């Protein structure tokens, strides 16, 4: 099933943990690249994105709304829930840190609440080496779809059906 950009929401959980992982972490470099792509998504699709938890000094695009709640309180955050209800949102794309802790709990809760939850692997990092494969297997059993922002952007452009936008996205992705 293709995600609809009009009802999709991106949530970055503890982004400081991912972006402070250092240049030695290939995933952190990829996450910084994907964060630039997220800014383009806002311009192309008017995607709403949120950041929650440890924001640190991460250079987040101004289009990303900052939530003041504890990350594990996402599903009760009044600003986030109001936005989801107003947009009739159903697809929540989670990324950040840690995939084997906060992201895991939020994805399981979101699936239990009936949301179409997707895991943005290119915007996520694990705390414990080797746990990511186990987490992904567990989440897939609950209907959580692992993906990347690159894949999702192309998916949104196909779902909208605008050939010019789709071509622009393909050129941007290289």
* pLDDT, tens digit only, all 174 positions of the chain: 889 999 999 999 999 888 776 555 677 778 888 988 999 999 999 999 999 999 987 678 899 999 988 999 999 999 999 999 998 878 999 999 899 999 999 999 999 999 999 999 999 988 887 889 999 999 999 999 999 999 999 999 999 999 999 999 999 998
Query: Is the CB of residue 156 less than 8 Å from the CB of residue 45?
Result: yes
Q: CA–CA separation, 85 vs 120, rounded Å? A: 22
Question: How many other C-beta atoms lie within 10 A of the C-beta of residue 166?
Answer: 16
Residue entry with tokens 């992982």: 21
Q: CA–CA separation, 13 vs 11, rounded Å? A: 6
pTM score of the predicted model: 0.94
Q: Can you read off the two tokens belonging to residue 49? A: 């994105």
Q: CA–CA separation, 52 vs 74, rounded Å? A: 8
């Amino acid at each position: 099933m293709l995600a609809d950009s009009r009802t999709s929401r991106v949530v970055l959980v503890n982004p400081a943990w991912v972006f402070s992982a250092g240049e030695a972490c290939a995933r952190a470099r990829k996450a910084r690249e994907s964060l630039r792509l997220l800014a383009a998504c806002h311009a192309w699709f008017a995607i709403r994105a949120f950041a929650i938890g440890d924001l640190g000094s991460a250079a987040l695009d101004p289009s990303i709304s900052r939530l003041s709640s504890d990350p594990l309180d996402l599903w009760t955050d009044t600003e986030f829930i109001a936005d989801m209800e107003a947009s009739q949102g159903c697809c929540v794309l989670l990324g950040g840190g840690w995939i084997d802790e906060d992201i895991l709990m939020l994805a399981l809760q979101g699936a239990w609440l009936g949301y179409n939850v997707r895991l943005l692997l290119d915007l996520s990092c694990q705390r414990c080496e080797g746990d990511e494969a186990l987490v992904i297997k567990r989440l897939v059993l609950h209907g959580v779809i692992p993906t990347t922002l690159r894949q999702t952007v192309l998916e949104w452009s196909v779902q909208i059906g605008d050939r010019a936008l789709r071509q622009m996205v393909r050129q941007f992705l290289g």
